[in-house]
């Protein structure tokens, strides 16, 4: 019984850190490699990094010079981190600024396994365009006109099936549902989210709580684990609120970091609890798939 339980458990590490306002990709990469080693030393089998994990959040403004920061995938960052995954025997889930071709860029997450098997990519599907979050200027959404292979995917990593999603995707229950239906056991949301200068303290608190509540709802509705991995620190008018956390399939938070804390969060994911929770809350059994046609429309008044 003990052996079977251990096989169902996977230790996951989230890295939370500041990028700084000035781009220092090599310095941040060195820092990140040290944190990955720390996480592996604490028993992590899967390590998750924040969105755009080596760069300041340049999407605060529209400036073509920032396209120079993009990298090919596979490329410089994935090469270094693949070597570290091989050395330490851990899975690394990294989110990068991808240059796919001349003039074509994505906000991309990559799952790197020890042994360097086939590269597993996910390109962010929902792209925001708001003050200080000017992402549509930089990123082409994944999945546009490219068929099923570019749709929502599940990455097989170690002894865990990961549903890779990115930041703004976390506000869309459709995305969480699809990757859960494809077998994901842990949804991961590398994130860059924070407060804007001038916002009232009450509004800041409400935003952060809404962010956590939304991801808890994905865990509950799909009976899966959910991890949100954010950065910290001030960058211009934005203060990133950290608070990286993992929630279980019952909606209970099992690990959380502070709003300003840099470090490593280690949690244990027990896949057996997914099956257990789905027996208590049989949401998938009771879905009315014959009645959901309207969800495929932009609005219900469409013919």
Residues designated catalytic:
51, 124, 167
User: Is residue 59 packed enough to be buried (19+ CB in 10 Å), middle (13-18) or exposed (0-12)?
Assistant: buried
How far is it, in rounded angstroms, from Cα 186 to Cα 168? 17
Cβ atoms 278, 266 nearer than 8 A: no
Give the three-state DSSP class for 235: strand
Give the three-state DSSP class for 227: strand
Q: Give the number of other Cβ atoms within 10 Å of residue 128's Cβ.
A: 14
Query: Can you name the residues that pair with 188 across neighbouring β-strands?
Result: 164, 227
Residue carrying structure tokens 């684990």: 225
**Torsion region of 106: left, alpha or beta (phi above 0 gives left; psi -120 to 50 gives alpha):** beta
User: Is residue 39 packed enough to be buried (19+ CB in 10 Å), middle (13-18) or exposed (0-12)?
Assistant: buried
How far is it, in rounded angstroms, from Cα 301 to Cα 283? 28
Closest C-alpha to 46, from 4, 85, 78: 85
How far is it, in rounded angstroms, from Cα 11 to Cα 88? 14
Backbone φ and ψ for 298, nearest 5 degrees, come out as -70, -40
Give the 3-state secondary structure percentages of the chain, helix then strand then coil, rounded to 5.
35, 25, 40
- According to DSSP, residue 284 is labeled T
In the numeric block, which tokens belong to residue 289?
Answer: 């798939």
């Amino acid at each position: 019984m003990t052996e079977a339980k251990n096989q169902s458990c996977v230790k996951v590490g989230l890295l939370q850190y500041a990028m700084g306002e000035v781009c220092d990709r090599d310095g941040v990469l060195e820092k990140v490699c040290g944190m990955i080693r720390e996480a592996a030393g604490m028993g992590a089998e899967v390590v998750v990094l924040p969105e755009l994990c080596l760069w300041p959040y340049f999407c605060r403004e529209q400036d073509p010079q920032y396209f120079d920061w993009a990298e090919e995938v596979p490329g410089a960052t994935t090469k270094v981190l693949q070597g570290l995954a091989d050395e330490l025997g851990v899975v690394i889930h990294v989110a990068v600024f991808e240059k796919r071709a001349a003039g074509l860029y994505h906000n991309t997450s990559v799952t790197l396994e020890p042994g360097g098997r086939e590269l597993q990519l996910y390109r962010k599907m929902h792209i925001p365009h708001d003050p200080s979050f000017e992402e549509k200027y930089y990123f082409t959404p994944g999945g546009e006109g490219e068929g099923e292979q570019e749709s929502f995917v599940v990455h097989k990593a170690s002894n865990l099936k990961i549903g890779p999603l990115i930041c703004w995707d976390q506000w869309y229950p459709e995305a969480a549902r699809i990757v859960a239906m494809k077998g994901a056991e842990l949804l991961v949301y590398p994130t860059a989210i924070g407060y804007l200068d001038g916002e009232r303290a009450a509004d800041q608190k409400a935003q952060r709580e809404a962010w956590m509540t939304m991801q808890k709802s994905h865990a509950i509705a799909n009976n899966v684990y959910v991890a949100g991995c954010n950065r910290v620190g001030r960058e211009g008018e934005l203060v990133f609120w950290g608070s990286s956390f993992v929630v279980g399939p019952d909606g209970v938070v099992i690990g959380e970091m502070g709003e300003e804390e840099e470090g490593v969060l280690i949690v244990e994911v027990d896949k057996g609890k997914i099956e257990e929770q789905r027996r208590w809350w049989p949401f998938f059994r009771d879905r009315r798939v014959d009645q959901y046609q309207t969800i495929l429309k932009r609005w219900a008044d469409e013919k």
